[in-house]
Structure 1
């Protein structure tokens, strides 16, 4: 959507991020999360984020030219925080990934973001692009686990990875965003086990 390394001056030597810049970025994204949790996407404006975070509007517009880009970076940060280290155990790693999604769906700001993206994507190009990038980011962890399992012979070489990701994540998205029901760890484990019964090579 824009430069993936904002806050870094053009031509500046690579000395690592300026701590003041890191704090400003974190303050802005924290403000976005708070506003999403309190008011939904309509509460996220450059004026509101500036007032909440103390980061100047000019700075915000320079690095996040529209509301969709503010929301994108906020939810991307949460996706990254939800991820855990790989163990090499297929079942455990899939459960870990799915529990990360479960936590996101129960986080007020993240849940409201997902609802906003689904609501606006059909008629707002910025949110349509946001939906696509968040789908790629959110599914990348599952894809890495499944590809490693294919390479190790735990899954067949011809499985349809996007379909398997849908079978894993789809029930959680439906249960939370459409049915409005809570998701517990037992439900997550049941989904993973049912998918593995379909696709795992049983030796």
Structure 2
């Protein structure tokens, strides 16, 4: 990603431009402007990505949403991959709790956190947008795979104690699918009871007690 400088051009927020003109010129002020611009463009890129989808994602759309010129965006984030990466930086990584040692408790907690990401940051829309490019753009595929790995990683580690190979892959797919499938197909996320039952069924298949 191209490094950002302090020479950002705003196009639709004159009140912000006036405030910036009145600020003292110093290295720290430059840092503030750089951080503010990254934040503004990143959040705008995420909104466009989740609301308009991958096909409509463009420098022009993000620039209009953020209130910066297209020249600024092309200068500092010259490709769509750069803008997508910036958008996902504003999402951050999904939260994971400390393991308790109880497989059911930990798996249920992970699936609930995964579910919450679909609600909080519209993860379903992000994955759908990335899927539109992922088969043709290697960098986008890598971003998609990183998100999936982050979402499934803890559950995979827990299940690796009782399964391996194809059985492990199937178990991970079943549990992640409990959240992903209804979100993508029906526009809703599973209830606590559905998540609880899914974990119970998978653990029972491997002979793991799941009364917790």
TM-score by length of 2: 0.66
Tell me the residue number matched to 2:131: 118
Tell me the residue number matched to 1:142: 152
Tell me the residue number matched to 1:11: none
Q: CA deviation at 1:108?
A: 7.1
Q: CA deviation at 1:35?
A: 2.2
Equivalent-residue separation in structure 2 for 1:108 and 1:140 (angstroms): 15
Do structure 1's residue 24 and structure 2's residue 24 form an aligned pair? no
CA contact (8 A) 1:76 1:137 kept: no
Equivalent-residue separation in structure 1 for 2:71 and 2:48 (angstroms): 19
Q: CA deviation at 1:139?
A: 2.1
Tell me the residue number matched to 1:130: 140
Equivalent-residue separation in structure 1 for 2:171 and 2:142 (angstroms): 18
CA contact (8 A) 1:75 1:110 kept: no
Structure 2: gaps spanning 5 or more residues: 6-30
Q: Structure 1 88/50 Cα, relative in aligned 2: closer, same or farther at 3 Å?
A: same
Report how many residues are paired.
185
Q: CA deviation at 1:200?
A: 6.0
Q: Structure 1 159/33 Cα, relative in aligned 2: closer, same or farther at 3 Å?
A: same
Do structure 1's residue 88 and structure 2's residue 95 form an aligned pair? no
Do structure 1's residue 74 and structure 2's residue 79 form an aligned pair? no
Q: Which moved more, 1:189-198 or 1:141-150?
A: 141-150
1:159 to 146, 150, 164: 164
Give the secondary structure class of the aligned counterpart of 1:41.
coil
Equivalent-residue separation in structure 1 for 2:122 and 2:152 (angstroms): 22
Q: Which moved more, 1:51-60 or 1:25-34?
A: 51-60
Equivalent-residue separation in structure 2 for 1:76 and 1:166 (angstroms): 26
Do structure 1's residue 34 and structure 2's residue 36 form an aligned pair? no
Report the structure number with the largest CA radius of gyration: 2
Q: CA deviation at 1:31?
A: 0.6
- Quote the RMSD (CA, aligned, Å): 3.6
Give the secondary structure class of the aligned counterpart of 1:92.
helix
CA contact (8 A) 2:178 2:190 kept: no
